[in-house]
Amino acid sequence: MTATEWRASTSPASIFALRLLGLFLVLPVFALEAAKYPGGDDPARVGLAMGIYGLTQGILQIPFGLASDRMVRKPVMIFGLLVFALGSFLATWAPTLDWLIAGRSLQGAGAISAAVTAMLADLTRDEVRTKAMTLVGGSISVVFALSLVMGPLLVNVIGFAGLFALTGLLALAAIAAVVYWVPPEPPKRADQSLGHVGSLLAVLKNPPLLRLDLGVFVLHAVQLAMWVAIPTLLVTAGLSKAEHWQIYLPVSLASFLILWVTLFPLEKRGYLRAVFLAAVGLILVVQIAFMALPGFGQPSLVLLGALLFLFFCGFNVLEASQPSLASRIAPANVRGAALGVYNTLQALGFFAGGAAGGWLAKAYGATGVFAACATLMLLWLVVAWPMKITSRHDAALAS
């Protein structure tokens, strides 16, 4: 990587990290803490509060992506971060679950993921794109791991509302990163945009992109649905909420090390397809194992930790490789639109996972949650199986 490419890679990583740290901090404690609000005695509504962020993200990712294609990307990113911060402070104040849902909705309206990812793709060459995207994906994985550790600890110090206040402050710090750290954008060509309709049609007619869009939806729906049930399983196994980090920290860090020693070497040797499909299959096996737990009595913490380690191994590979592949497939003149659709499906996956996970937990318990997750992962494995990795740009999907 050149110096500009390193800066172009680390600046989006810092923006994602600052923004997502706040979002992820509430994840391991959300189901337990939101139940304490007036109206929080309904698990389905708690799940809605957890996932509603993804719905507004899903609605606005494409408009933000299209706007970043036609205008300068930095102002789009700053505006989205301001909206996200406002939603965080509304959630801080929220006296009831309904107001918490409103704050989470406004958080989601700051839908800048497509603009940030498109900017990274603009500023990096194809041959270093996987490394650049993996730095971003790696930052997300590290932040996710840290949040699972820090969330249960911080909530005991600053409270659940304090986590949202911290989220708003982190969003303001991300604005500073956009202004002072993101490199200057390349000038847009006069022919760079096809127009809104043309851009969307070009994206929606691309089967490899659509395959990745389905995959990112499933991955994040499963991720969020799992965390409707995981905290309760850990408490049932004898680990208090404040001690959940003792499971999350070692399994997250160990799985991240596995990512770095497997993904890059195997990709260079031409095994990216095999690694990709193996990661999907691994998460499927984990969901089946979680689904089968009630048949073997109360699960041990060692078993739960082992299953979470395997989940993170698969999750990290997919989180790092999918956006890189999406940015490579998309033509430069519709990159914002393509990543807008991709991030829309990602956000809708968050919403579906939270809302459906809460409803399934209420109606069928944790077993129902993991059964639905296993079904989604099986569907993804079937759809992803025909994928091919060609030599064009080192790794591009072809239908």
Q: Is residue 190 part of a domain?
A: no
Q: pLDDT by residue (tens digit) across 194-241?
A: 445 556 777 777 788 889 999 999 999 999 899 888 888 988 888 887
Segment 321-346 shows an average pLDDT of: 76
Residue 306: band (very low, low, confident or very high) from pLDDT cuts 50, 70, 90 = very high
**CB-count burial class (<10 Å; 0-12, 13-18, 19+) for 121:** buried
Domain interval for residue 211:
3-182+196-386
Is the torsion defined by CA of 268, 272, 278, 280 positive or negative? positive
Residue 264: band (very low, low, confident or very high) from pLDDT cuts 50, 70, 90 = low
Q: Is residue 225 part of a domain?
A: yes
Q: Is residue 191 part of a domain?
A: no
**CB-count burial class (<10 Å; 0-12, 13-18, 19+) for 302:** exposed
pLDDT of residue 88: 94
pLDDT of residue 181: 82
Q: Report the percentage of the chain scoring pLDDT > 70.
A: 88
pLDDT of residue 398: 39
Q: Is residue 200 part of a domain?
A: yes
User: Residue 399: pLDDT above 50?
Assistant: no
User: Residue 70: pLDDT above 80?
Assistant: no
**Largest CA-CA distance found in the chain, in angstroms, rounded:** 65
- Decide which of 268 and 194 is more confident: 268
Q: pLDDT by residue (tens digit) across 74-86?
A: 888 999 999 999 9
Output phi, psi for 390, to 5 deg.
Answer: -100, 175
pLDDT of residue 110: 87
pLDDT of residue 376: 96
pLDDT of residue 391: 42
pLDDT of residue 194: 44
Asked if 129 and 328 touch (Cβ cutoff 8 Å), the reply is: yes
Is the torsion defined by CA of 343, 344, 347, 353 positive or negative? negative
SS3 394: coil
Average pLDDT, the chain: 82
User: Residue 134: pLDDT above 60?
Assistant: yes
User: Among the listed ranges 164-173, 242-251, 366-375, which one has the minimum average pLDDT value?
Assistant: 242-251
pLDDT of residue 394: 42
Segment 343-355 shows an average pLDDT of: 84
pTM for this model (two decimals): 0.74
Q: Write the DSSP assignment of 168-193 as a string of letters.
A: HHHHHHHHHHHHHTSPPPPPPPTTS-
pLDDT of residue 392: 41
Extract the tokens encoding 295.
């048949």
- Decide which of 299 and 165 is more confident: 165
- Could you give the CA distance from residue 136 to residue 83 in angstroms, rounded to a whole number? 22
Task: Give the 3-state secondary structure of 65-114.
Answer: HHHHHHCCHHHHHHHHHHHHHHHHHHHHHCCCHHHHHHHHHHHHCCCCHH
Q: How many domains does the chain have?
A: 1
- The bridge status of strand 388-390 relative to strand 396-398 is antiparallel
Output phi, psi for 365, to 5 deg.
Answer: 75, -175
pLDDT of residue 252: 79
Q: Is residue 58 part of a domain?
A: yes
Q: What is the CATH number of the domain that holds 126?
A: 1.20.1250.20
Residue 352: band (very low, low, confident or very high) from pLDDT cuts 50, 70, 90 = confident
SS3 388: strand
Residue 359: band (very low, low, confident or very high) from pLDDT cuts 50, 70, 90 = confident
Q: pLDDT by residue (tens digit) across 171-196?
A: 999 899 888 888 877 665 544 444 45
Q: Is residue 391 part of a domain?
A: no
pLDDT of residue 279: 93
Neighbours of 94 (CB within 10 A): 21
